[in-house]
Each structure stands twice: as C-alpha cells, then as structure tokens.
Structure 1
C-alpha cells in the first residue's frame, strides 16, 4: 500500500474493509445456495453478513483476517457449486495468506475420498501458493524462507491462551 498515493494506514484499512465486504458477499452466496429464492438470504448481503464488530476490526484496527477468510469461504462456495479447480485456487490463495486455512484440508480430503472432488484439482493449492511467491522471489527472498514460513511460525507462541483470563485451577472449575 505504500506505493499508492494514499497514506499507508488509510490504504491498509480500506483494503481490509473491502475484504470484509467480499467475505460478506460469499456468505450471502452460501446462504442463497441453501435457501434459493427465499428472503433468508437477505441478511447475508455484504452489508449485513459481516457483523459490526468485524467491520470495526477491519476499518479501525486494520486487521486483515477477512482477506484469508473471504477466499476460504469463497472456496467452500465454489466447492458447493461443483467448481473444484476454482475452489482449490481460492483455498490456495487463503492458504498463502494464513496458515489457519489448513482447517479446510480435512474437508477437501473427505471430498476426495468420497469422489466429490477430483484429486487433481488439489494441485491448484500449491500452484497458487507458488505463483503468489513469485514477487517475493523476484526481489531476492530465498525460496527456503518462503516455503518454510509456516514451519517457522509454529514455534512463535507456545502458550494456548496468551495470558487470557481462564480458569485453570481445579477449585475454580467446581
């Protein structure tokens, strides 16, 4: 965003908010698949599907979780629409953005085992990941660093709660 003629902070916040609306669009499309032609899909519109706290999170704090979530939910939408290559491409983009996308992998495995997803379409995931690494490779980032980024991140936090208020003593649970 620093290359655009806007303040980088504003650019980041606008980009985050835009992905909140894309996420809302895919939520709407999922609801509309389940309830075609019914009013139920109305609340799933892009302006309502993303709760106000998420919109504030994106626009005020500049959080970017909606970026990977929009592509992950879009991937699920395309799975349901029987568009396996596009679904896996979207899931590949989501995976390139954030490791938490791995929680969709058991669904993909189940669909492959039940023959609801051609296994060859899974090749789109690493292909998209590699294609999205090309700009970083062009500026000199080592391939080893790019392809081990998630392995390196797994040791970043060794606590499950990160000091969140929880009940850990036996007497507190009674």
Structure 2
C-alpha cells in the first residue's frame, strides 16, 4: 500500500495528475469527494469533475466524515482518490469541528490503509497574507494539515502548471 499526496495551487493540474496516477494503479477505483454542492456553480464543477473521471470510478461523498468513510472502504483491491483535503478542512471549520483532532485521525487512518491512496490538497500559503482573521486561521490550518499529511505519506508531489515535482519518495 502506497500513500501519495499531491499539492498545488488552484488549477495547477493536481487533481488531473492524481486521477492519472490512480488510473494507472488499478482498474477498481473509488473517488472520495469532499465537495458540497451549495450553489449552482459548485454543482456544475462537481458534475464536470465526475464527467472527466468517466467510467471505472465509484464515487463516495465525504464532506465531513472523511476518516470514517476511509475506514469503511473495502480492505483492499480498490484504489482510493481523496479530492480534496482543502474542501474537507473548509467544511470542518464551517461546522466547527475539531480540526486538529480530525487531522490527527486522518494521519492515523492513513497508516492503517491496505489500499493505495491518493490525496489532493491546495497549497494556500504561497500567496498574500489573508486580510481577515478567518482567512488567516484557514491558511494556517491548511498549512499544518498539509505538513501532517505529507509527513505520513510515502510520496509527495507538488504540481504547478501541470508539471509534477517530486518532493518525497
């Protein structure tokens, strides 16, 4: 079992890279979606992502309970793609969940997975300092989450302009 973490900015190609790697890894794949269709534009994005994946993917929604979702997936045989940790974190913060406890639980869960797992997340710390306290809290929480996940994953790649840069593994 290999865990692969793909980081990058918005529209960097990280999700496309993760999908390609997952498709190369096996024919039985599950896409764990963290997005929620709270408006028409987001519903359109979700539909587009699903269409881009095409056949061969089973989709499981996990906007909040990512860890329990991962724990209930088959013990082995399916390739797992989680897209994305940034939306998951946003959902956790919006619903006032304990972000550190959830992050710790995710990292512990990744140690026990018996399937290949690909995780996608945004690197949000490369831009300007956010103007609002909420924005700064989110940026800081995302940075900590990314560091924690990168530490436990076997492979870490940073994707920019569709080009992967191997950071670990």
TM class by smaller structure: 0.3 to 0.5
Give the TM-score normalised by structure 1: 0.36
Q: Which is higher, the Rg of structure 1 or of structure 2?
A: 1
Q: Which has the higher strand share?
A: 2
The structure that is helix-richer by fraction is: 1
